[in-house]
Amino acid sequence: MTGKTGTFYGIGVGPGDPELMTLKAVRILERVDVIFTAASTKNDYSTALRIARPYVPEATEIVSLPFRMTLKHEARKQAREENARKVLSYLREGKDAAFLTLGDPFTYSTFSYLARALRELEPDVSIQAIPGITSYQAAASRLLVPLCEGEESLLILSGALGGESLRRLAGTVDNIVMLKTYKNFEDITQSLEELGLLDKTVGISRCGLEGEEIIDDIRRFKDSHPPYFTLLIVKPDEKN
C-alpha cells in the first residue's frame, strides 16, 4: 500500500438508545469522512444509522452497502468482497471511514466479515473497532436479570437455525442468551418446552427502541413470529 490511506472504524452503536453509544464512538463519527451502513438488497434502511444520526454531521457522506440475506456461502462471500472493494476505494483516497453496526462490532456482526474481506484484499489496511453495548447487556439491565453471578457460566447462542444448539448445550451451562430468534421461533419454543425451560425464560423485543416489549410468557408466540429484534434470556437453574 502506498501513499496516505484512511482508517476503517467498526463502530458499535449499541442496542437502540442513542445515549448508550460510547463517547469514543461519538467522537469518531464527528470526524470521519464517510459512514457505511449495512442494508439488505431490497432497501437501504439502516437501524444503526437511525440510532447514530444525532451524532453524525450533516455533511458526512453516507454509503449503504447491500448484503444478501441468504444461506448460500458463495453469494455471501461475493457480497462481502464487493463491499470491501468499495470501502477500500475510499480508504485509498485517504478518507477515514466508519461502519455502523448494532450492538458490538465483534458480536454476531457483519463488520467482522467485512473487516476480514478487507484484510484479504489489503493486508496492511488500518482497521480499528470501537466496542458497543450489546442487546443482551441492555436487556439484562432493562429486565433486572443478572446474566451470571459468582462462578456461573454464560452461553450466547444464535437461534437463526432454530433450537438445536439449545437442545445440545442447555444442560451444560447456568445461563443462556439466545439471539436471532425471529425466523425459527416455533422450533426454539419447542426446544424450551422439551427441556422444561419455558417458565425459566424471559424475552424482550426491540430493547431500547420504539415499541419495546417485555415477553413474560413466550408461549403466546409458539405458533407465530415475535417482533424481529427479539432475544431470550434463559435461567435453567434459577433459584427462587
Question: Which residues, in sequence order, are CB contacts of 92 under 8 Å at separation 6+?
Answer: 1, 3, 5, 6
Residues 117, 19 share a domain: yes
pTM here? 0.89
**In a domain? residue 141:** yes
**66 alpha carbon, distance to own chain's centre:** 16
**In a domain? residue 16:** yes
Element (H, E) at 79: helix 73-91
215-240 pLDDT per residue, tens: 988 888 766 678 888 999 999 876 54
Residues 110, 22 share a domain: yes
Q: Which of 130, 160, 181 is at the close of a domain? A: 130
Residue carrying the nine cell digits 417482533: 227
Residue ranges in the chain modelled with pLDDT below 50: 1-2, 240
C-alpha cell of residue 229: 429484534
**In a domain? residue 92:** yes
Domain count, the chain: 2
Q: What is the CATH number of the domain that holds 209?
A: 3.30.950.10
Tell me the residue range of the domain where 216 lies: 135-234
Residues 119, 24 share a domain: yes
Residues 144, 228 share a domain: yes
109-140 pLDDT per residue, tens: 999 999 999 999 999 999 999 999 999 999 99
